[in-house]
Amino acid sequence: MDLTADDITWTDPTCPVARILDLVGDRWSLLIVRDAMDGARSFTDFVQRTGVARNILTERLRRLTEHGILERVPATTGRRQVYALTEVGRDLFPVVVAMRQWGERHAFRDGEPRSVLVDRTGASVATIWPVDSRGDRVDVDSTEVVHPR
The beta strands (E) that lie in the chain are given as 70-74, 81-85
User: Rounded mean pLDDT of the chain?
Assistant: 93
Question: Distance between CA atoms of 44 and 48, rounded to whole angstroms?
Answer: 6
pLDDT digits (tens, 9 = 90+) for 61-76: 999 999 999 999 999 8
Q: What is the DSSP letter of 8?
A: S
Q: Is the pLDDT of residue 50 over 90?
A: yes
What is the pTM for the complete model shown?
Answer: 0.88
- The answer to whether 82 and 72 are in contact (CB under 8 A) is yes
Q: Is the pLDDT of residue 107 over 60?
A: yes
Q: In this predicted structure, what is the pLDDT of residue 87?
A: 98
Q: What is the DSSP letter of 124?
A: B
Q: What are the structural domains, with CATH classification, of the chain?
A: 16-91 (1.10.10.10), 92-140 (no CATH)
Q: In this predicted structure, what is the pLDDT of residue 7?
A: 59
pLDDT digits (tens, 9 = 90+) for 117-130: 999 999 999 999 99
Helix (H, G, I), strand (E, B) or coil at 83: strand
The CA angle 12-100-89, to the nearest 5 degrees, is 55
59 CB burial (10 A radius; 0-12, 13-18, 19+): middle
Q: Is the pLDDT of residue 113 over 80?
A: yes
Q: In this predicted structure, what is the pLDDT of residue 5?
A: 53
Confidence of residue 11 (pLDDT cuts 50, 70, 90): confident
Q: In this predicted structure, what is the pLDDT of residue 9?
A: 75
